[in-house]
Chains A and B, each alone.
Chain A
Amino acid sequence: MKRMVVIAVAAVFAMVLGGAMLDLPLGAIDLRIPVAANLGESGVSHPVTAVLLNYRGYDTLLEIAVLLLALLAILAVLGETRAATPRAAHPVLQTLVRLATPLMIVVAVYLLWAGAFRPGGAFQAGAVLAAAAVLLHLVGLSPGWNTPRLKLRMGLAAGFAVFLAVAAALLPQGALLRYPPEAAGALILLIESALTLSLALILAGLFLLLSRDEEAP
């Protein structure tokens, strides 16, 4: 009964909403114009990166906070558990991963650098590095995580801390995250490099922390 009602409501909702979309005139404001017009001062030439790290960089700052918070939340929820001891995979597989890792690092660096003028950037680069770390763990070449020690915690927080510090340091320019146009490119690259490292650690950490409760008492 409940099932039918919920499905019927969802179907009606989708139809009404879909119907309302069909004859929608174009919006009054077109942000593509100011995005393109200010690209020269944004420090990057790829519009999505300009939005992500300059025009709406404040969203991204808070988003990194959400990601760091998620890692912290997992630590708080799972509590003290022992790290899973990885089973060593077949030697051929291990060799493959050993070979793939430097390749993935090169790809990550390329993605980070490319983000300034074409698709790519810190998130994609961080995700590739995280994937490398997870692979190393899965074939038994690196251990899982316990509660992170000081050095690791600093690495996890570094990207966010650098971003926050740059945001605050630019306040005397008149506003939070107001890059001076001539330094914008360099500052964005600095933030993105720190973010790549931390994002890789956090994304890998989400996996490595979750996979450890296997051995929990």
Chain B
Amino acid sequence: MSDPAFQPLVWLILLPLGWSTLAFALGPGRGAWTAIAGLATQLWLAFMLAVKVGAGGTAHAGPDSPMGTAVTHQVGGWGAPLGIDLAVDGLSAAMLLLTQSVALPLAVYARSYFKTGDPAGVWFWPLMGFLIAGLNALFVSADLFNIYVTLELVGLAAVALVAAGGGAQQVAAALRYLFATLVGSGAYLLGVALLYGTYGTVSIATLMPLVSADAPRLVWIAGGLMVAGLMLKTALFPFHFWLPPAHGGAPAPVSALLSALVVKASFYLILRLWLGPLQALLPAFAWLLAALGAAAIFWGSWQAIHAVKLKRLIAYSTVAQLGYLFLIFPLLTHPAALKAGVMQIFAHGLAKAGMFAAAGVMIKATGQDTVAGLAGTVERLPVTLFAFGLAGMTLMGLPPSSGFLAKWQIIEAALAQGHWIIAVVALAGGLLAAVYVFRVLRQAFLLAPEGAMAGGVAAVPRALEWSAFALAAASVVLGLRGVELMQLLGAGA
């Protein structure tokens, strides 16, 4: 373990960059096994890192920052503020663990999903590699400008995945998404520029005491720009306009990656700024964010209940579920609030990946992307329907799923501080989720109309059904093993 070359946090960035470059060199349609082997190793690395952080870290290279860092790495050996520091605390370790745990089953899923010759799958593997590398790099970075570069890496890879091999609808959705993500990171970059201008550094750890000591008006504007840009990238209501077409129109494995991980990255960053350098400033906006979150829950659920297409329904459900994340901001003084937020990130990440994967199976089997077309699928695709149901259970927040744990903690933190309104919103959101989940399940249990299924349900590879099931089941089982995750969050903070 003391070998300087064995540093999980560094390899979590180098490895996906390496295998995506290799997949690119191997050529069109190649690289699936490279990706799966790489992701399996990364999952192991993320686990090792979480164990290390949970145990208190080894304080390698550099003192503990005020961010409560457990494991740090000074790239180039210079150290902040001259160089760039990487830092992993409980929150980052949790995000890394989630990223690899969602990506690995989805890679197995995608290998079966993109049959040879599918134009959407030609460059899928290197694109996915850059996406995962960008996410991992974002979660470990402790430098605001470096984070800008990782944001662009994630954003461009995500846009390319939406558009790859698609028709006019996908290309239009990708363009909408591209402009949203570029304006979002542009606003973030301007905020970083203002911070650098004010203090002369972009290192998170160096900035913390400086901002707390003295924050001129310019820093407030910088904070506002950064958070606004990241809200746009997280698709918080009313900035959600780009999400449903992009997540609803992309191929199922891509939708799953985007909904489960990509939108969480920008949310993570808001949280990171909130708990870190902008600590003194942001609480002024806490209720604004919570109100937008509540609006997202109601608007997203309403749209999901009325969606015609299956994947649209799931995409609107993402808009709603992202709303929960913003409910925690007024509650953050209570320790349960952060735990609730991270549990919700995990619950939604696993469940939504499972749900999109299951939807992909149903669409492949029935040949159409509509809720109405699902009639009769329960007999042919029991595993997939079960997966969809389990994922739905997590989204509704039923015990013993991780979604239940997340909502329970939000409500606990809300009631402890007398903010019962937040508890009411959280409960109402669960009921609305039940409406759209049961809308799908009810349709699937209906008998197929005569003649409509003339072609029958097409056979679907087992790997598709079972990887969807694994993700959905994980979202439920995590509810039983949530304590370990919560302990990790306490570490290094």
Contact = CB atoms under 8 A, between A and B. Distances in A.
Contacts of B137: 62
Interface stretch (B50-58, B72-80, B294-302, B451-459): B72-80
Interface string B123-151: 11011001001100100000001100110
Contact of A77 (B10, B75, B160): B160
A29 B73 contact: no
A174 interface: yes
Contacts of A153: 24-25, 27
A24 B197 CA distance: 9
Q: Is the interface of A mostly helix, strand, loop or mixed?
A: helix
A69 B157 contact: yes
Contact of B5 (A69, A72, A171): A171
Nearest to A171: B5
B153 A65 contact: yes
B164 A62 contact: no
Contacts of B149: 59, 62-63, 66
B186 interface: no
B63 interface: no
B81 interface: yes
A174 B76 CA distance: 9
Contact of A65 (B78, B130, B145): B130
A38 B82 contact: yes
Interface string B13-44: 01001100100110110000000000000000
Contact of A31 (B82, B150, B165): B82
Contacts, number: 169
Contact of A172 (B5, B17, B146, B199): B5
Greatest chain B CB density within 10 A among A58, A65, A157 is at A65
B69 interface: no
Nearest to B73: A175
Interface string A66-81: 1011101101110110
A70 B122 contact: no
A49 interface: no
B216 interface: yes
Given A72-B123, A168-B14, A172-B4, A55 B197 contact: no
A66 B153 contact: yes
Nearest to B18: A164
A56 B84 contact: yes
Interface in A162-198: 164, 167-168, 171-179
Interface string B183-223: 00000000000101111110000100010000011100100
A157 B25 contact: yes
B153 A59 contact: no
Interface stretch (A15-23, A86-94, A105-113, A135-143): A15-23
B78 A29 contact: no
A52 to B, nearest CB: 12
B64 interface: no
B21 A175 contact: no
A155 to B, nearest CB: 10
Contact of A75 (B83, B123, B171, B194): B123
B269 to A, nearest CB: 16
A27 B127 CA distance: 40
Given A31-B200, A164-B14, A176-B75, A21 B119 contact: no
A30 B24 contact: no
A167 B14 contact: yes
Nearest to B166: A77
Interface string A150-162: 1001101100110
Contact of A79 (B82, B160, B165, B210): B165
Contacts of A75: 122-123
Contacts of A34: 81-82
Given A72-B127, A73-B160, A171-B10, A79 B119 contact: yes
Interface in B79-131: 81-84, 119, 122-124, 126-127, 130
Contact of A73 (B119, B157, B200): B157
A80 B118 CA distance: 12
Given A70-B156, A157-B25, A177-B75, A24 B10 contact: no
A45 interface: no
25 contacts: A17-B194, A20-B216, A20-B221, A27-B200, A28-B210, A31-B200, A31-B201, A55-B83, A56-B146, A59-B145, A63-B149, A65-B133, A66-B149, A69-B130, A73-B127, A77-B163, A79-B122, A80-B119, A147-B28, A172-B4, A172-B5, A174-B61, A175-B76, A176-B75, A176-B76
Interface of B: 4-5, 7, 10, 14, 17-18, 21, 24-25, 27-28, 61, 73-78, 81-84, 119, 122-124, 126-127, 130, 133-134, 137, 145-146, 149-150, 152-153, 156-157, 159-161, 163-165, 171, 174, 194, 196-201, 206, 210, 216-218, 221
Given A73-B156, A164-B17, 4 more contacts: A25-B216, A156-B24, A176-B10, A179-B76
